[in-house]
Amino acid sequence: MFGRLGAPEIILILVVVVLLFGAKRLPDMARSFGQSLRILKSETKAMQKDDTDESPTVHATAAHQLASESRHTAPEATEANASHRR
């Protein structure tokens, strides 16, 4: 369907875009689009780096810490709830 876009079709699309958005706004839109792509690229690289940096032992340690914290805070929470009910 889009495989046969020739020069006249591309020129027509460009003319329609210029008419819709105006010649003054196009450079700003292109600049904003480029900045958005750079931000997206840097964020995806950071997410990939975070995924590769974490090891299974980090997850196990975090789970152990959460479990121990919940054991320590559970009696206090039940005492507070019991006194609140009275």
For 29-55, the three-class secondary structure string (H helix, E strand, C coil) is HHHHHHHHHHHHHHHHHHHHHHHHHCC
**71 pLDDT more than 80:** no
pLDDT band with cut points at 50, 70 and 90 for residue 37: very high
pTM of the model: 0.43
Rounding to the nearest 10 degrees, give the CA dihedral for residues 79, 80, 84, 86.
20
- Predicted confidence band of residue 51 (pLDDT cuts 50, 70, 90): confident
Determine the pLDDT at residue 55. 54
Summarised one tens digit per residue, pLDDT across range 11-35 is: 999 999 889 888 888 889 899 999 9
CA distance 50 to 53: 5
